[in-house]
Structure 1
Amino acid sequence: MSIPIKYLTVITVFIFCCYSSLYAQSTKPIYLDANKPIEERIEDALSRMTVEEKIAMCHAQSKFSSPGVPRLGIPENWMTDGPHGIRTEVLWDEWKQAGWTNDSCIAFPALTCLAASWNKEIAALYGKSVGEEARYRKKNVLLGPGVNIYRTPLNGRNFEYMGEDPYLAGQMVVPYVKGVQSNGVAACVKHYALNNQETSRMEINVKVSDRALYEIYLPAYKAAVTEGNAWAIMGAYGKYRQQHACHNQYLLQDILRDEWHFDGVVISDWGGVHNTEQAIYNGLDMEFGTWTNGMTGGKSSAYNDYYLARPFYEKIKNGEVEEEVLNEKVRNILRLVFRTNMDTDRPWGSFGTPEHAAISRKIAEEGIVLLKNEKDLLPIDLDKTKKILVVGENAIKMMCVGGGSSSLKVKYEVPPFEGLKNRLENEVEVSYARGYVGHVDGNFDGVSSSQDLAEDRSEKELIDEACTMAGSVDIVIFIGGLNKSRGQDCEGADRKSLDLPYAQNRLIEALAKVNSNLVVVNISGNAVSMPWLDEVPTVMQSWYNGTEAGNALAAILTGDVNPSGKLPFTFNNNLNDYGAHFLNAYPGNDNEVEYKEDIYVGYRWNDKENIKPLFAFGYGLSYTTFEYSNLMANKTNLSKEDSLTISLDITNSGKVDGAEIVQLYIHDPESNLPRPEKELKGFEKVFLKSGETKTVQFTIDNAAQSYFDPEKHEWIAEPGRFEAWIGAASDDVRAKIKFDLD
């Protein structure tokens, strides 16, 4: 039987397609096969690249991107500033705004607020959400989070970091990193390392003991790498051992690669590279933001003059540098690409959504800290309160614009006064008085808050007006603090003083004299002095809380949400209560600073010197009360292989549902090397309904009992007696239990 010609044609086409498909599969490059192991794909792609293509991947091609390999289908890498939101688009070769109309993001609270939440689940949600925004905008590297330690309250960039304690920062950074990277976007943890001041940040050489380096300044980075599996690290601007951190042999090679086995990519901070030889050999992979002639000043579109561009290429071609050195860098970069842009399973992300705004508000609500509430002014009693006066520039000032590289162009921002009006409309009469004039310019890098804050009245006129209005209301809410202008909470310069700026202290003292029902809300990313504290019944610490800042603050003030944040750094009375300042170890001389306080940073210094803080690390009040009871351990004699499990009951003994942050500190009464009186080694945030009791458990392992021995260059857990202290703050220990390590 003959087969009709039309069927023969169909069969022929079908057979041809099958063979074509089989042939294509058999010849498909390994690097394009997402089912192959990443390391095989890396080697395959590397074998197909020219030296020129490899060199190109090691440096920028624009302000925020680096090349891929178009002929091989390897995409570009696109970075975006974080860590609080996705930066607006800029022109290819300039910082000037690109003028897009669809790049307005959701602003999340500053990382000081996240740290103040002490909530690891919230940290994961934060990272996932900001990662979704980056993914939607087609960025595969988020330049954040930051985890530099709060050494001095004058550091202009503290608001971007996670406080003074390495354990707290480490526990909060890990879920943040995992959340970001769940979107196929790399978290680039910064600024590694010792970036603890903005003064002389490009030149300062840090002298610090190995012990302080390992116990205080590195643990959060180590956690991000070894527990969070961070895919990228950004070098700092300053120097350590007289080498810039962006190409520092000891930090990047000896510690990051050899000790922690980091397999991600090392990215320079913008303008942080200074030497071709060191950049080649000391662990840097990708160079960004160098003054574009590679040496002195800016020159448009001169990326080939970067230290890891033409100078690197010439050394390869001349045989001065082995190509394998270049290959190692490209392997790290390709690993980044395969984990992000070439991951076919990564989600699409989302941007500027109501869901992200709600998450931003939730983070802000969990991070706001109630510091004092003597007359129970808060929450506001809406049955008895008819008139409220809000005073202060920060009540109306939009804070998302400014602060340096974390400045944002936001979809919207609700300032505190607007948030209070939204919440109290038709219930309470809310009026406003300026009170003081701070930074009136709402522009940064071409983004404007569109606010006109110009003011012609004198300081006296503003104070007089506020005091006159304050005398006829039920409650006065002063909303002030710092802002994100240069010289306050801002990249590029440190603060000059611990005091509140713009005559705010005089204003607060005047308000307290005319109305005793005064609530002071401090908005800042740093501690401030409070000489008026005894005259003010209620104080609250807020932060730069992003898109939903005002609504979140209003929810706390009215009791819609019970405050549950606790301080991630110590508030002291004056600068000399901080070790760096008492020892004259800040900001340094002749571009060198010595960390003379060593391991005694933050509450560790207060304990050592018996200094009573204004408000302690880990401190924060609630609208309810909590009781601690039944502290028990599963054993009291441990070998070095054992873990100790401690349990206790927490009861909400008040009338309002709320959350308590239970803190575990380890005390070592006697050791070969001096140790702090106590060190944070565990915490849990426990949500309890009124009258409810829950059991909290902590596991204490060998690491929790160890200190770093610089002579042996290892962590040591000495035999002997230890104590576990359970507290509600670093200066509020509620229970202790002893145990022995054999």
Structure 2
Amino acid sequence: MRKIKNVILLGTLACSSIFAQQKPVYLDESKPIEQRVEDALSRMTLEEKVAMCHAQSKFSSAGVPRLGIPENWATDGPHGIRPEVLWDEWDQAGWTNDSCIAFPALTCLAATWNKDMALLYGKSIGEEARYRNKNILLGPGVNIYRTPLNGRNFEYMGEDPYLASRMVVPYIQGVQSNGVAACVKHFALNNQEIDRHTVNVNVDDRALYEIYLPAFKAAVQEGKAWAIMGAYNKYKGQWACHNQYLLNDILRGEWGFDGVVVSDWGGVNSTKQAIYNGLDMEFGSWTDGLSEGASNAYDNYYLAKPFLKLLQSGEVKVEEVDKKVRNILRLAFRTTMDSKRPWGSFGTVEHAAAGRKIAEEGIVLLQNKNNVLPIDLNKAKKIVVVGENAIKSMTVGGGSSSLKARYEISPLDGIKGRVGTQTQVVYARGYVGDASGNYNGVTSGQDLTENRSESELISEAVNMAKDADVVIFIGGLNKSDFQDSEGNDRKHLELPYNQDKVITELSKANKNLVVVNISGNAVAMPWANTVPAIVQSWYNGSESGASLASILVGDANPSGKLPFTFPVKLDDNGAHKLGEYPGNGEVTYNESIFVGYRWIDKEKIKPLFPFGHGLSYTTFAYGKVSADKKEMDADGKMTFSVSVKNTGNREGAEIVQLYISDLKSSLPRPVKELKDFQKIVLKPGEEKVVTFTIDKSALSFFDAAKHDWVAESGDFEALIGASSTDVKTKVGFKLR
């Protein structure tokens, strides 16, 4: 902290000295940013320029103190503001005022299907980052859900490029309204954690442009993201953090990105490639602080002394460093040097309420036979809660998104707090998963050590369940290694710790069983037919338990829908069926564009739960969809309308989904693709007309031969559904 203050003081003195002479253009906020950038650049020495291109600590890069240009400070992550670490180490700095509000993981945000929630999320977490004086937030993540085994899927927004595109834009806008850059990650094709530092991804251009790039493109062109983070993996034999095709040709060339490209921590592998292939700022290349015997490892980064020597010798032209510094200065003028930048706020009740609202909207009711849910507290006098995830902290762990949360309400505490004393709530462990509770020096403070045997734990749970009015099993995955965690993928689709056995025995003991799966990934559910109610929850942050309790007792009506498919078995996923996961140094996406529900539709597979699925405590009736015309002109638009009515007895929200089907194409196409959606709130008996307007882009596919988007004339259908498999109504139309 002392160093930050010193830099600010130096910058202030420098500015005072400059103002005493003549106000430079770069300090004049009335001037266009590009003019200010060029003026500041012209005043910098070569050494100062190079210093801006690489880290000076674990999470910061240098400014130019004599010119009053502040340092850049980055922070993880997409779900909450990381606690401070020591200057040159990963160990905790020991601050007592850096405990954040933990927000739900991005899988939960995607499951809301609500762009207003994305804006609220971005604005809230942006305020937390700004208060801590960070100007780069390392998130959001928009890598596509290719396999349910990917350890970082919980950080992303699901399997569909359109859904991810629509949700990422308001998130970015919310973050950046605070003068904090959203750093969208990981660009691109980072779809597995196994061999992530070395694997070379082979993917055809159609899949690249139709599946894996749209969310990044929307982030850049619509969200106006100020930063992009490169990925660890290779594409076309080049590491993604310095990749000619991804960064120069696509990101800057095709999309016109004018922000900063930041490396993932340790993602740089070559000075020459880093110079020429689109990288601006290098972080994390060495992490021991003593590389090559130097007292400061940062001087030895690929874009530090090696870069400077090449510039000084003339082997590399100064224009190469100038390109990078222009982008970094542009970042500064948008963030730290914006005098109108808000002050932010941290750990507030408003942020906690925002997190709870997002969680409530994102929790998905997967199954509800016999209307076991919501729990009627007037009738339920004894509730038995079973499972380690009912008590285990989920804000600590998982990799770079691990947090030091101000507080975390567990599911058990959330249920007890809501139920009060009118209903007895008793708890049984049921199974033992991970008794640890620490990551990077942050500890949960829990001691989950358990000495009883598996059979003893199951017997206890079953005996307690026999006379209960309702049994709630709360399990799933956790954020330990080889589960939902950075660094490794899951080893199988099944629930760990023999939870299937616990659930099966509980279902025999009590017919009123609710299974709550907490995870960021799909899991196998061999017991699904014997369990009446299944709820998909997520890593929901500080208010996790309160939000879950609200759904279980009906204070909030569930309205979330799945952002990815739950397959019955791994073989129902294209990446696994075709045998190209995880690869061996090379991985080929043989399934091409057929990811998620696109593969399910193509192969006519019945999923466990489909993309877009989610139930409510009320019911909805769909009318017949109509089109405003029978044909779309090549340059025109088309509008579809459908009425939706709440036919139940309580208020609820429905997510109406529009899919488009190309009935005849010169190239293979998915059976249908999501092209729009709306979340509407309806009171009992209320009816609304939902309208969707599309243009030719919604009918287009990427033609690799032409390297362009093509919409072929012919017959199409617009399908309105409550999920990808629950199509309610459709209408045909033509493209001229």
TM-score by length of 1: 0.96
Work out which of the residue numbers 374, 382, 407 in structure 2 matches 1:379.
374
- Give CA-to-partner distance per residue, 1:163-203, whole Å, 9 cap, x none: 00000000000000000000000000000000000000000
| Deviation (angstroms), 1:300 | 5.6
| Deviation (angstroms), 1:738 | 1.1
Q: Which residue identity is paired with 2:325?
A: V
- Give CA-to-partner distance per residue, 1:118-170, whole Å, 9 cap, x none: 00000000000000000000000000000000000000000000000000000
Work out which of the residue numbers 402, 409, 412 in structure 2 matches 1:414.
409
Q: Which residue of 2 aligns with 1:288?
A: 283
- Contact 1:293 1:306 (C-alpha < 8 Å) held by counterparts: no
| Deviation (angstroms), 1:27 | 2.0
Q: Which residue identity is paired with 2:164?
A: A
- Give CA-to-partner distance per residue, 1:56-84, whole Å, 9 cap, x none: 00000000000000000000000000100
SS for the counterpart of 2:681 is: strand
Q: What is the alpha-carbon distance in structure 2 between the residues aligned to residue 449 and residue 297 of structure 1?
A: 36
Work out which of the residue numbers 430, 439, 445 in structure 2 matches 1:444.
439
Q: Which residue of 2 aligns with 1:12?
A: none
| Deviation (angstroms), 1:503 | 0.7
SS for the counterpart of 1:212 is: helix
Work out which of the residue numbers 390, 395, 398 in structure 2 matches 1:400.
395
Q: Which residue identity is paired with 2:479?
A: K
Q: What is the alpha-carbon distance in structure 1 between the residues aligned to residue 35 and residue 605 of structure 2?
A: 57
- Contact 1:186 1:232 (C-alpha < 8 Å) held by counterparts: yes
Quickly say closer, same or farther: Cα 1:528–1:388, change in 2 above 3 A. same
Q: What is the alpha-carbon distance in structure 1 between the residues aligned to residue 288 and residue 78 of structure 2?
A: 29
Work out which of the residue numbers 710, 717, 729 in structure 2 matches 1:716.
710
Quickly say closer, same or farther: Cα 1:287–1:532, change in 2 above 3 A. same
Work out which of the residue numbers 698, 702, 706 in structure 2 matches 1:704.
698
Quickly say closer, same or farther: Cα 1:340–1:248, change in 2 above 3 A. same
- Contact 1:77 1:141 (C-alpha < 8 Å) held by counterparts: yes
- Count of paired positions: 720
Q: Which residue of 1 aligns with 2:329?
A: 334
Q: Which residue identity is paired with 2:347?
A: G
Do residues 616 (structure 1) and 616 (structure 2) align? Answer: no
SS for the counterpart of 1:729 is: coil
Q: What is the alpha-carbon distance in structure 1 between the residues aligned to residue 339 and residue 435 of structure 2?
A: 47
4+ residue segments displaced more than 4 Å: 23-26, 292-300
| Deviation (angstroms), 1:301 | 2.4
Do residues 631 (structure 1) and 625 (structure 2) align? Answer: yes
Output the aligned Cα RMSD.
Answer: 1.3
Map residues 570-649 of structure 1 onto 2, 5 A cutoff.
570-589=565-584, 591-649=585-643
| Deviation (angstroms), 1:26 | 8.4
Q: Which residue of 1 aligns with 2:6?
A: none
Do residues 667 (structure 1) and 640 (structure 2) align? Answer: no
Q: What is the alpha-carbon distance in structure 2 between the residues aligned to residue 695 and residue 608 of structure 1?
A: 31
| Deviation (angstroms), 1:396 | 0.4
SS for the counterpart of 2:371 is: coil
Quickly say closer, same or farther: Cα 1:429–1:294, change in 2 above 3 A. closer
- Contact 1:292 1:298 (C-alpha < 8 Å) held by counterparts: no
- Contact 2:101 2:347 (C-alpha < 8 Å) held by counterparts: yes
Q: Which residue identity is paired with 1:679?
A: E
Q: What is the alpha-carbon distance in structure 2 between the residues aligned to residue 531 and residue 672 of structure 1?
A: 40
Do residues 498 (structure 1) and 496 (structure 2) align? Answer: no
| Deviation (angstroms), 1:298 | 9.4
SS for the counterpart of 1:94 is: coil
- Contact 1:140 1:186 (C-alpha < 8 Å) held by counterparts: yes
Q: Which residue of 2 aligns with 1:124?
A: 119
Q: What is the alpha-carbon distance in structure 2 between the residues aligned to residue 545 and residue 202 of structure 1?
A: 29
| Deviation (angstroms), 1:259 | 0.1
- Contact 2:386 2:473 (C-alpha < 8 Å) held by counterparts: yes
| Deviation (angstroms), 1:695 | 1.4
Map residues 146-225 of structure 1 onto 2, 5 A cutoff.
146-225=141-220
- Give CA-to-partner distance per residue, 1:486-521, whole Å, 9 cap, x none: 000000000001000001000000011111110000
Do residues 483 (structure 1) and 481 (structure 2) align? Answer: no
SS for the counterpart of 1:246 is: helix
Q: Which residue of 1 aligns with 2:421?
A: 426
Q: Which residue of 2 aligns with 1:658?
A: 652
- Give CA-to-partner distance per residue, 1:438-497, whole Å, 9 cap, x none: 011000000000001000001101001000111111110000000000000000000001
Q: Which residue of 2 aligns with 1:5?
A: none
Q: Which residue identity is paired with 2:363?
A: I
| Deviation (angstroms), 1:426 | 1.7
Work out which of the residue numbers 317, 327, 344 in structure 1 matches 2:339.
344
Q: What is the alpha-carbon distance in structure 2 between the residues aligned to residue 636 and residue 360 of structure 1?
A: 44
- Contact 2:408 2:542 (C-alpha < 8 Å) held by counterparts: yes
Q: Which residue of 2 aligns with 1:239?
A: 234
- Return 632-641 or 220-229, whichever deviates more: 632-641
Q: Which has the larger radius of gyration?
A: 1
SS for the counterpart of 1:179 is: helix
- Could you tell me the percent identity over the aligned residues? 69
Q: What is the alpha-carbon distance in structure 1 between the residues aligned to residue 634 and residue 281 of structure 2?
A: 42
SS for the counterpart of 2:95 is: coil
Q: What is the alpha-carbon distance in structure 1 between the residues aligned to residue 368 and residue 489 of structure 2?
A: 31
Do residues 737 (structure 1) and 731 (structure 2) align? Answer: yes
Quickly say closer, same or farther: Cα 1:624–1:299, change in 2 above 3 A. farther
Quickly say closer, same or farther: Cα 1:676–1:404, change in 2 above 3 A. same
Q: What is the alpha-carbon distance in structure 1 between the residues aligned to residue 343 and residue 686 of structure 2?
A: 41
- Contact 2:159 2:563 (C-alpha < 8 Å) held by counterparts: yes
- Return 639-648 or 74-83, whichever deviates more: 639-648
Q: What is the alpha-carbon distance in structure 2 between the residues aligned to residue 297 and residue 581 of structure 1?
A: 42
Work out which of the residue numbers 41, 45, 50 in structure 2 matches 1:46.
41
Quickly say closer, same or farther: Cα 1:700–1:25, change in 2 above 3 A. farther
| Deviation (angstroms), 1:297 | 8.1
| Deviation (angstroms), 1:296 | 7.8
Q: What is the alpha-carbon distance in structure 2 between the residues aligned to residue 565 and residue 298 of structure 1?
A: 53
Q: What is the alpha-carbon distance in structure 2 between the residues aligned to residue 598 and residue 122 of structure 1?
A: 31
| Deviation (angstroms), 1:694 | 1.2
Work out which of the residue numbers 450, 454, 461 in structure 2 matches 1:466.
461
Q: What is the alpha-carbon distance in structure 2 between the residues aligned to residue 468 and residue 319 of structure 1?
A: 79
- Contact 1:246 1:268 (C-alpha < 8 Å) held by counterparts: yes
Q: Which residue of 2 aligns with 1:141?
A: 136
- Contact 2:89 2:287 (C-alpha < 8 Å) held by counterparts: no
Q: Which residue of 1 aligns with 2:101?
A: 106
SS for the counterpart of 1:46 is: helix
Do residues 265 (structure 1) and 260 (structure 2) align? Answer: yes
- Gaps spanning 5+ residues in structure 2: where? 1-15
Q: Which residue of 2 aligns with 1:9?
A: none
Work out which of the residue numbers 415, 438, 455 in structure 1 matches 2:450.
455
- Contact 2:390 2:474 (C-alpha < 8 Å) held by counterparts: yes
Quickly say closer, same or farther: Cα 1:24–1:130, change in 2 above 3 A. closer
- Give CA-to-partner distance per residue, 1:403-428, whole Å, 9 cap, x none: 00000000000000000000001221
Map residues 75-114 of structure 1 onto 2, 5 A cutoff.
75-114=70-109
Q: Which residue of 2 aligns with 1:356?
A: 351
Quickly say closer, same or farther: Cα 1:266–1:377, change in 2 above 3 A. same
Q: Which residue of 2 aligns with 1:551?
A: 546
Q: What is the alpha-carbon distance in structure 1 between the residues aligned to residue 116 and residue 292 of structure 2?
A: 45
Q: Which residue of 2 aligns with 1:366?
A: 361
Q: Which residue identity is paired with 2:683?
A: K
Map residues 672-691 of structure 1 onto 2, 5 A cutoff.
672-691=666-685
Q: Which residue identity is paired with 2:486?
A: E
Q: Which residue identity is paired with 2:99?
A: S
Q: What is the alpha-carbon distance in structure 1 between the residues aligned to residue 225 and residue 514 of structure 2?
A: 42
- Return 284-293 or 557-566, whichever deviates more: 284-293
Q: Which residue identity is paired with 2:368?
A: N
